[in-house]
Amino acid sequence: MSNKKIFYAFIWHGVFLALTKSMLDLNTVFPSLIDEMTHSKVIFGILYSVMLGVPLIFNIVFSHYLKTFKKKKKVLLFGIYLRSFSFLGMALFTIFYAIDRPMLTTGSFFVWIFLFSISAGFAGISYADIIAKTMKPIERNKLYATKQFIGSIAALFGGFLIKKIFSMPSIVYPYQYGISLFIGAFGLFVASFGIITIKEPDSIIYAEKADKFIDFIKTIPSIIKKDAHFKNFIIIENLASFSIMILPFYIIFAKQVFDLDQSYIGTFLIVQITGTVFSNIIWGILATKRNAKTVVKVCIAIGAFLPILAIVLSFTSVYIYSIIFVLLGFIISGRRVGFEPYLLDIAPDDRRTEYLGIRGTMNLFVVILPIVGGLFIDVVGFYTTFTIVSFVMLIALFLMKDSVVS
């Protein structure tokens, strides 16, 4: 299979995946839906932690056993279909129970999001390994940047679709959320067609079966200790995760400060995706002219600046505050274009799957920070929480400057 065909197969998958993600955007649609069913920011923080943290917690298990698989395409496809099924489950519960039994619907989301997230764990590792096997480093950087750019166009289309759905008087709560989730389920199914066409080469296998899991766990500290590049990567990504802690709370903050209705969800989503589209031009230049590390560094700098800017703009108008969502687009796309290619650059070929799994599981802050963020906001408020996040991100930026990774 030619490199061009592989390239376009990944692009096909990326386009429909991006469309799907906009249907349950984690920073606009998802927090607004949960806020309709429960005003508890702690409950939302827990759900957000499940969404982000479950694949990371199980990554170490998945990577341990997946390293013995010569081919991982079937695993990836199973993960995609399981995620599509999870979208369908959320859609049905939202439509039939969100109004009369909101707590039941919220509770069911813990199940659906768990399935959605755990499938993301083994699917993500398989996806990254297939990319690494089929494309050279320079081609990978081009793929990530191109996929992000074209995917952002698809997501922008999804944003306009969300705005249309949420602006139609004939579609009332909770049907607008149910429709968007149905579209997401279909989008994931179509996305799988690109993966199906890829002819995957065998992975390098040094053992026919995995060692005992407990023995593998015991080797993790030595793996991290021996590889200074990897150790610094883990520290920096954990600190940078503080920006993720408050990403979904920017829209809740705006709803409270400006007393907004649901019609603004689509507007903010479009603005955010527009920022993603334009930022990908910048990330693409940085990734190809410099390296993935530069993308990560700039992304962290924006993450340090954004919380303070949100506080300042909260004293202006909702239109000026929309700048926050433009920069959110920069952060979201920057993390996607930067961190994983950065890791693939430093991971040895024969331990790539293990590095991906260790990276996910060691990124512990992603698991707990959304809960901590919701708790902090409930106790000390948005302003104090935003200030703390900005300070921690500056520390991450400082450590990035001294990183030994070139």
pTM (predicted TM-score): 0.69
| Residues 143 and 264 sit within 8 Å (Cβ to Cβ) | no
Q: What is the CA radius of gyration of the chain?
A: 20
Fold for 3-198+208-401, please state it. Growth Hormone; Chain: A; (1.20.1250)
* 68: pLDDT strictly greater than 90: no
Amino acid identity of 209? K
Between the alpha carbon of residue 393 and those of residues 243, 294, 298, 299, 405, the distances in Å are: 7, 16, 11, 10, 19
* pLDDT at residue 11 is higher than 80: yes
Q: Is the pLDDT reported for residue 145 higher than 60?
A: yes
Confidence bin at 405 (pLDDT 50/70/90): very low
Any idea which of 49-53, 151-155, 183-187, 302-306 has the lowest mean pLDDT?
A: 49-53
Task: For residues 74-85, give the mean pLDDT.
Answer: 90
Please give the pLDDT value at position 203.
Answer: 66
pLDDT of residue 28: 81
Is 238 or 81 the better-scoring residue by pLDDT? 81
Contact criterion met (CB below 8 Å) for 400 and 339: no
Written as one string, the DSSP assignment of 101-148 is: -HHHHHHHHHHHHHHHHHHHHHHHHHHHHHHHHHS-HHHHHHHHHHHH
DSSP state of 247: T
Distances (CA, A) of 259 to 153, 251, 318: 30, 11, 10
pLDDT for position 211:
60
* pLDDT given at position 210: 54
Percent of all residues in the chain with a pLDDT value above 90, rounded to a whole number: 20
Average pLDDT (55-73) is 71
pLDDT in tens, 94-137: 999 999 898 899 999 999 998 988 887 778 778 888 887 887 76
